[in-house]
């Protein structure tokens, strides 16, 4: 490591300390849960890493590295932990070398009991500003060539507004699969009957919306279509889920939900995603107990998962995530 990276890693340490201070001061309990789990929340969009564990008789037992601490943190919430936060390593497999992915990365995840996604949004803004000032970083940064004004409040757009402002498309008119397929094809993308609604949505979003999102200030995108399979609370009416993502300079930093607690919605998420998971490179058992616990015992709450390395990358004006991760090994070939 050269002296530049040593400076970066001292800043990283200061950021970890400031983050702990922020959440401790607000009464959040810090927890640290295991890296290994016998079953996970099935998410068809994430590939996991399996670990070979053997007991003292030499019998193998499959375990999986957590792609997020959600699987344990929601259990704690259900046991009455109250507000909790955690800074932990997470592991994801098979992701492309984009400069913003690394197979082992650091996640800041927090849950607030009795809160909704807009409460988390306010806390996210406050945390970001606290961290920025603790590190003595100025009001603007350059993120991959784009100048971003970091002063709060951040910009807010609903997904519907984002579609209309960037691409002139009415999102609600695209809730029908056929209309969405036409829109994707109209943008030049190849479309087939094998495309799910999620796949078509992202073909449109990634081609016509995301590259044109306003990047001059940090941006919250709120209210995602309920048809995207997540564990975010579906609003009455069934069209939208209470979810936001934070983008800074075009990079996704955090993903937040009001947590879904409806038993049948949770059960169908686990069933459908679990089904898709069977053809994953590394299939794993879905955590059926958690599905039951989430519906039965978890209090109304909001959870946010924040890519800590990406946040640092943005604050320090680094081009690649590897520059803020000590001993990063995954190179960017793109």
- For another protein, the binding residues (CB under 8 A) are 43-45, 95-98, 101, 187-190, 192, 198-199, 202-203, 205-207, 210, 228-230, 245, 252, 255, 334
Burial of 329 (0-12, 13-18, 19+ CB in 10 A): exposed
CB of 327 to another protein, least distance (A): 23
CB of 95 to another protein, least distance (A): 6
> Given the complex with another protein, which of 5 and 196 has the nearer CB atom?
196
> Given the complex with another protein, which of 123 and 246 has the nearer CB atom?
246
Q: Minimal CA–CA distance to 298: which of 306, 286, 290, 308?
A: 290
DSSP helix/strand/coil, 121:
helix
> Given the complex with another protein, which of 1 and 190 has the nearer CB atom?
190
The DSSP code sequence of 186-240 is HTT----TT--HHHHHHHHIIIIIGGGS--SS-EEEEEEETTS--SBPBPTTSSE
CB of 248 to another protein, least distance (A): 14
Q: Minimal CA–CA distance to 157: which of 236, 210, 228?
A: 210
CB of 23 to another protein, least distance (A): 22
Pairing of strands 219-225, 155-158: parallel
CB of 271 to another protein, least distance (A): 17
User: What is d(CA 124, CA 303) in angstroms, rounded to the nearest whole number?
Assistant: 11
Name residue, tokens 């016998």.
38
> Given the complex with another protein, which of 8 and 101 has the nearer CB atom?
101
> Given the complex with another protein, which of 163 and 205 has the nearer CB atom?
205
The DSSP code sequence of 262-322 is -HHHHHHHHHHHHHHHTTSSS---B-HHHHHHHHHTPPSEEEEEEEHHHHHHHHTT-SSGG
CB of 104 to another protein, least distance (A): 16
User: What is d(CA 217, CA 66) in angstroms, rounded to the nearest whole number?
Assistant: 32
CB of 333 to another protein, least distance (A): 9
> Given the complex with another protein, which of 228 and 293 has the nearer CB atom?
228
CB of 45 to another protein, least distance (A): 5
> Given the complex with another protein, which of 252 and 297 has the nearer CB atom?
252
CA distances from 118 to 114, 115, 262 (A): 12, 8, 20
CA distances from 232 to 58, 95, 243, 300, 330 (A): 41, 24, 6, 12, 31
> Given the complex with another protein, which of 63 and 169 has the nearer CB atom?
169
| Bridge partner residues of 156 (DSSP) | 220
């Amino acid at each position: 490591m050269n002296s530049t990276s040593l400076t970066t890693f001292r800043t990283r340490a200061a950021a970890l300390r400031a983050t702990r201070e922020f959440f401790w001061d607000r009464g959040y309990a810090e927890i640290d849960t295991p890296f290994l789990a016998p079953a996970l929340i099935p998410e068809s969009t994430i590939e996991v890493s399996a670990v070979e564990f053997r007991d003292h008789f030499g019998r193998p037992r499959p375990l999986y590295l957590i792609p997020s601490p959600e699987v344990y943190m929601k259990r704690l919430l259900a046991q009455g932990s109250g507000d909790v936060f955690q800074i932990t390593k997470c592991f994801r497999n098979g992701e492309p070398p984009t400069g913003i992915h690394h197979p082992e990365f650091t996640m800041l995840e927090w849950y607030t009991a009795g809160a909704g996604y807009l409460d988390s949004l306010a806390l996210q803004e406050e945390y970001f500003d606290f961290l920025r000032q603790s590190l003595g970083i100025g009001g603007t940064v350059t993120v991959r060539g784009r100048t971003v004004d970091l002063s709060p409040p951040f910009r807010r757009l609903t997904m519907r507004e984002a579609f209309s402002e960037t691409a002139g498309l009415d999102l609600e008119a695209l809730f029908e699969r056929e209309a969405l397929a036409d829109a994707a094809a109209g943008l030049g993308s190849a479309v087939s009957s094998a495309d799910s609604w999620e796949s078509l949505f992202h073909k449109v979003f990634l081609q016509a919306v995301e590259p044109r999102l306003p990047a001059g200030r940090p941006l919250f995108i709120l209210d995602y279509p309920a048809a995207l399979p997540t564990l975010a609370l579906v609003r009455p009416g069934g069209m939208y889920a209470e979810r936001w993502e934070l983008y800074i300079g075009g990079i996704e930093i955090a993903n937040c939900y009001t947590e879904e607690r409806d038993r049948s919605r949770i059960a169908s998420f686990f069933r459908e995603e679990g089904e898709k998971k069977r053809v994953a490179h590394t299939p794993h058992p879905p955590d059926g107990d958690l599905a039951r616990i989430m519906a039965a015992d978890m209090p109304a709450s909001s959870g946010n998962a924040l890519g800590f390395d990406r946040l640092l990358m943005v604050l320090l004006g680094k081009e690649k995530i590897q520059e803020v991760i000590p001993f990063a090994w995954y190179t960017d070939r793109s």
